Homo-oligomer: A and B are copies of this chain.
Amino acid sequence: MQTIGYLGPKATFTHLAVTAIFPNAESVPYNTIPQCIDAVRDGEVDLAVVPLENALEGSVNLTIDYLIHECSLPIVGEIVAPIEQHLLVHPQQADAWKNIERIYSHSHAIAQCHKFLHRHLKRASYEYMASTSAAAKYVSEHPHEKAAAIGNRLAAKEYGLAIAKENIHDYDYNHTRFIILHQQPCELPIDHEPDGYKTTLMITLPKDQAGALHQVLSAFAWRKLNLTKIESRPAKTGLGNYFFIIDIDQKLDDVLIPGAIAELEALDCAVQVLGSYPYYTVKQK
């Protein structure tokens, strides 16, 4: 039985991803991304799950920066989960959601449901909370207020709320990515097949010059290594210095990726493998 630390509080989207992929694990909420990463480093938990992209409660920047500058742990897996927002009300108000006067949620969640709210709840006012689950908790504790929370299915369950209206987010195909961290590279105790594999590299260019990135990508292109993500990020060493995070859509092999890395190092790039790992997609409900 493994324990899994995640970016809390309970019923966040990170928690939802953990319960979908590790249904039998014991999960432990942490309040910040650094605390969650420290917990796996210090052996308090076996694995940590933190958001990497597109998350409401966390940001790419914090996760990547903390891994690079403070606490270097390998990425051992990834979870891709759809962002589904629902209108949650106290069960006493389940049939009267159109009379809602006040909506509680994280500001990004409210923004993600902009069109729905504009059309159906135009007169409602908004109250911004630190997380969607804090909003659900508030609504559960105020049964007589004409209030709704916007949040996920797990928040409804956790706080005994009714889903008055499902899938009120403006866009389908909106996904959040989470990474799974462990003290060292490992096989994950997941009993179904992954949807694929990825290798994530961090590449620092020798200096900022026109075409340097193009040269870097040549090393991948002529080997037909397919990149599924590329992002430049300012290094914390001064303005104008950058590094790149690149995802390659395959496992770290013995020939092609090591060959590309050797070529990049010969060009004076610094290359660090952040992980080579399986990814799992959470299906829409």
Contact = CB atoms under 8 A, between A and B. Distances in A.
Interface of A: 31-35, 54, 57-59, 61-62, 65-66, 69, 106-108, 110-112, 114, 126, 128-131, 134, 171-175, 208-211, 213-215, 217-218, 220-222, 224-232, 234-240, 242, 244, 281
Contact of A224 (B54, B62, B210, B232): B210
A106 B128 contact: no
A108 B62 contact: yes
Given A31-B107, A175-B239, 5 more contacts: A31-B128, A32-B110, A130-B130, A214-B218, A215-B221
A239 B173 contact: yes
Number of copies: 2
Contacts of A62: 108, 111-112
29 contacts: A31-B126, A31-B128, A32-B111, A32-B114, A32-B126, A34-B114, A59-B59, A62-B111, A66-B111, A106-B130, A107-B131, A130-B130, A173-B237, A174-B236, A208-B228, A209-B226, A210-B225, A210-B226, A210-B227, A211-B220, A213-B230, A214-B214, A214-B218, A215-B221, A228-B240, A228-B242, A229-B232, A230-B244, A239-B281
- Listed from nearest, the 8 A-B pairs whose CB atoms lie closest are A214-B221, A211-B221, A128-B130, A210-B226, A214-B217, A32-B111, A34-B114, A210-B224
Contacts of A69: 171
Nearest to A33: B111
A246 to B, nearest CB: 10
A153 B58 CA distance: 24
A73 to B, nearest CB: 16
Contacts of A174: 236
Contact of A230 (B59, B111, B230): B230
